[in-house]
Each structure stands twice: as structure tokens, then as C-alpha cells.
Structure 1
């Protein structure tokens, strides 16, 4: 199962799925607060083209993201729900596709080259859709030859990484969706990607249990191939300062790599249960891990350890 069900907006604020609720956890208050209940009927407060005025109910969330005071969530039947955290109610909800295999694999919040905020979705109907966050009008609709499992936009907003049910990963123009380059090397389907803050390095995670690093200035071969332990790499995150990269397997293992050592030094976090998502805090001081297990389901926080003013690892 694709899992990206956790997002940290500060070292004290984390959003995560719990049953049919998206919860906000405050480490300062040691308290969780429900932000959105998707079991109950959701009726949008904003009239927008493409919005379902009758709303939706009992959505099984497949992916979520929180950024810039906006929460977006995708569902297993192609749903998309958007809520501003400082406003009451849900602003927008829709069915992206009526395809029988319509799961929304990825929903992300990104920026265009001119700084505008956009919502980007990737679905099993092989399409990527881009929405404006003011009117929620669709700004782009790109189709590819295979189911799209993950997308990520470079920090300058110009390049779009597209990954899915193919051994190749694509780099495309974020404005037109036109493929620019094909990244070859993985042996199976890909599920995760992330851009280093320098804007040049892209990390991709694959079912072949590896994470590959690519330099967009020379795409003839990958910079490095980082091995997992047992399963597919389903989530990848960089710290905001670019010092560390975390790669999570579907269950049990998370690998934290030291970027400054050219990824040769790493720390393995061994836990029990399916990984529901990983997220570094924006200040790069904490790594949050969601564990999806009926018995041991939890939110784990790992603090950045410092020794003699040098950063060693996450503990």
C-alpha cells in the first residue's frame, strides 16, 4: 500500500491519519485535535467548478499533505479533499476520476516558478492533475503511459519528477507535462521521490528495494544506489538544510543517510509495523514516523543528536 499519511509543519505540529480522522498533534500541549473527519458527510463551503456540491462521505484516505496552511487528502476511489487550516469546513472536494482503479496515489502542495501555490495529484488512471488553490480550477492535466504512483516538483518549480508502474522515471516540464528525460536504472516500479534543497539532486525510491540519486546536470547514470533492507522504498524526505535524507521501507525499516558523506554513512531505524509516513520538521531538528498497526500504531519522534557542535545522527 502506498503510504504518505503524515506531515510535520513545525517541530511541535504534526498532522496524521487516525482511523477516519486527520489529527493534529501538538508536542507542546501533548494533545491531539481532530482537524477533519472523513467518515461523516463532507459538504464544501466554496462553490468551484468541478466541486461536488453534494459532498462526499466515508473516504478512505490514501495520501495527504499539509503545507502553507492548506491540507489536501486523496482517497482510494479517486477523491480529493482540500481544507484551509484557518477556515471552518472543507473548501473543495471532487472525484478526480471514475476509473474502476481510481486510487489517488499522491497529493502534494507545490510552487510554480512565479511562486504561486498549486495542488498536484497523481492517480492510477495514468494522469497528473494540477489545481489552483484560490478557485480550485484545474491548471494542468497530463497523461502518461502507465499508472502514476508519485510526483514531486523541483524547488524552483520548473521540473516535475513522474514515477509509476515502469522501470523508468521521467523528468518533465512542470508547466506542460512534456517529458524532458528518462531516468534508467531501477528494476521495478517506483513509489517515492524527493528533491535535495540544492535543486540538482533527485532521489527515487523503487520496489527493487533501492533508492537512487540522480544529478539533473548529468542524467546518463545515477550518482549512487542506496540499498534497503527488505522491501520497497515507499517514502523519501530530505532535511531543509540538505544534511540528511530519510528513506522508509513499507514496513519495519527507515534509513537515514548523511548527505555530506556522499551517502556513505547511514543510520538504520528498526521498528515494528507498517510505516504510515515520515516527515522532518522544517527546522531539521526532528524526524517524525507514523506507524500503522492495529496494536502498536503510534507516532514516533526522533531528535537530532548533537555532539561537540557537530551533528551526528537522529536518535
Structure 2
């Protein structure tokens, strides 16, 4: 289940999960500091504390996102935690659902078409919930026919990719939840998606060990199929300039595709251990990989080389 548990906000700042804590790794200071301890009782101390009457405690974090000075984490029992990085206390916390097996599968921080910031949570209860990141009020709740494993919002904020326990992937209107396209081609459940910065290409990752690329202007069939080596495609990330697409399997293999070559040029990174997350630095100069292994747990950094690809720098 490990995925999206590592995020880079700059080439020097990486956030990663370590047991019940979210840690900040500073490449400049060469040290780590704790940002969130989810083992302790979590009681929001701001005006948003009305959200959940009982404090959360010992939250096992299942997924997270860090962007625009905001950390959002989801839990294995439907929890949602939001914390501003420059504030000592948690701003908002709640249980999205009390249903059993209500894991928060994915969280996203996105900009709406009107320019406001959203926090989006996808859950096993087949619902996607959209919160206003300014006051953490739930703006929308969209229901789907299957458990939702992942969502991602298009760069212009108008569309939302919705993937889950189905061979079909959906593209919906991000404001209404109305399905505008159904993507058919995968053979199993889907776990990951990513939008190219130009907003025209959507990548979807599936348990059938493939990533499919879709032109959002014509979704009748996929443009291309990128194949993994042996596992489901659990994480997908484009660089901010759209030049590269990184694709992670559950363990051991990460694939980097050069989009300018029509995804023909590929670099394969072979490592050891479960992959907890992948993240490009915003300046595209580094790729960080979280390895979740009791013995070899680590963060790997690969620096961009000017001949194609990323070469390992430190670990």
C-alpha cells in the first residue's frame, strides 16, 4: 500500500514518513526535524478545531501531500490531518468516515479553476471529498461506484481524474463531479495518475503493470502504453517542465521516460526495497525516492544529468 509518502518542496527540502512521524530532511543542514507526530493526540488549536470533537491519536498515515506551505496526511481509518508548515499546531483534523475499511487512499492539494486552493481526499468508501484549504469547510462530496484509490486535478483546475477499484478510469468536472470521459483500456484496478503541465496529457497507472497515456481532447483510446517490469504502477510524476515522467512500481524499479522522445527513451533505476514515494524537485534538477525497508530504509537522491536522465548522487 506504500505510495505518496515522500514529497520534495525544493531541491533541499524533502518531507517523508518515518513510523508515525512526518520528517523534514534538509539537504543544506544535513539533518531531519519532526514536522508532525501522529502518535500523539492531535487537537487542532485554531478556529477549525470544531471539525472533530474527539482528538485523533496514533494515526497510521497512509498517504500524504506537501505543497504551498501545507502538509495534508490521510490515515488508515479515514483520518484527514492538515498542518501549515510554518505553524507549530495542526490546523484541522477529522475522520472522514466511520465505516470499516475506510482508508484514506490519496490526498491532493490543488488549485481550482477560480484560483482558490483545495484539499481533496479519496477514500475506500467510494467518495471524494473537496475542502476549501482556507477554512477547511467541505465544499463537495462526490460518490462513485467503487473505492477511489487516487485523484489528480488538471493544471487549469477544471478536470479531475478519478481512479480506483475498476478497470475504467474516469475524468470528471472538478466543480460538479459529473463524469465527462470514461477511459477504457486497463485490465485491472488503478492506483496513480498525473497530468502533464500542458493539461492535455493524462497518465494513469494500473495493477496490470502498465501506465497509459491519454490525450484529454480525444479519450476514445490511449495514446501509448508504458510497461513496468513486474509490479503495479503505484506512483506517477511529471517534472514541472513536462520533460520527464517518472513511474514507480511497488518495489525495486523506477522508470523515467523522456517525453520529448515520444516516451521512447527510458532510464530504469533498479534499487532494493519497497518504494514509499517519488518526487521531482520543483526545479526538475533532482528526483527523490523513498525506500521503506527496515534494514535499508533511506531517501535516494538522483541528480539530473544533461545527457538524458538522472544519475545517483547521494543516499
TM-score class, shorter-chain normalisation, is over 0.9
Which residue of structure 2 aligns with residue 84 of structure 1?
A: 84
Distance 1:2 1:138 in 2: 27
Which residue of structure 1 aligns with residue 273 of structure 2?
A: 273
Distance 1:181 1:199 in 2: 15
What TM-score, normalized to structure 2?
A: 0.97
Which residue of structure 2 aligns with residue 71 of structure 1?
A: 71
1:268-296, CA deviations, whole angstroms, 9 ceiling, x for partnerless residues? 00000100000000000000000001111
Which residue of structure 2 aligns with residue 182 of structure 1?
A: 182
Which residue of structure 2 aligns with residue 219 of structure 1?
A: 219
Cα distance, 1:47 vs. partner? 3.1
1:92-118, CA deviations, whole angstroms, 9 ceiling, x for partnerless residues? 000001110100000110010111001
Distance 1:186 1:37 in 2: 38
- 1:60 paired with 2:60, answer yes
Which residue of structure 2 aligns with residue 21 of structure 1?
A: 21
Equivalent runs, 1:188-199 vs 2, <5 Å? 188-199=188-199
Which residue of structure 1 aligns with residue 230 of structure 2?
A: 230
Which residue of structure 2 aligns with residue 244 of structure 1?
A: 244
Q: Does structure 1 conserve the Cα–Cα contact (< 8 Å) formed by 2:209 and 2:227?
A: yes
SS, match of residue 260 in structure 2: helix
Distance 2:135 2:107 in 1: 17
Q: Does structure 1 conserve the Cα–Cα contact (< 8 Å) formed by 2:161 and 2:171?
A: yes
SS, match of residue 288 in structure 2: strand
Equivalent runs, 1:84-123 vs 2, <5 Å? 84-123=84-123
Q: Does structure 2 conserve the Cα–Cα contact (< 8 Å) formed by 1:228 and 1:249?
A: yes
- 1:312 paired with 2:308, answer yes
Cα distance, 1:158 vs. partner? 0.1
Q: 1:142 to 1:162 in 2, by over 3 A?
A: same
Cα distance, 1:72 vs. partner? 0.3
Distance 2:135 2:267 in 1: 44
Gaps of 5+ in 1: none
Distance 2:128 2:250 in 1: 23
Cα distance, 1:46 vs. partner? 1.9
Q: Count matched residues.
A: 311
Q: Which moved more, 1:42-51 or 1:183-192?
A: 42-51
Distance 1:123 1:147 in 2: 7
Q: Which moved more, 1:42-51 or 1:16-25?
A: 42-51
Which residue of structure 1 aligns with residue 301 of structure 2?
A: 301
1:140-169, CA deviations, whole angstroms, 9 ceiling, x for partnerless residues? 100000000000000000000000000000
SS, match of residue 113 in structure 1: coil
- 1:264 paired with 2:260, answer no
SS, match of residue 101 in structure 1: coil
SS, match of residue 86 in structure 1: coil
Distance 1:49 1:16 in 2: 25
Q: Does structure 2 conserve the Cα–Cα contact (< 8 Å) formed by 1:235 and 1:277?
A: yes
Distance 1:44 1:228 in 2: 42
Cα distance, 1:49 vs. partner? 7.5
What TM-score, normalized to structure 1?
A: 0.97
Distance 1:50 1:264 in 2: 52
Cα distance, 1:187 vs. partner? 0.2
Gaps of 5+ in 2: none
Cα distance, 1:55 vs. partner? 1.4
Distance 1:314 1:88 in 2: 35
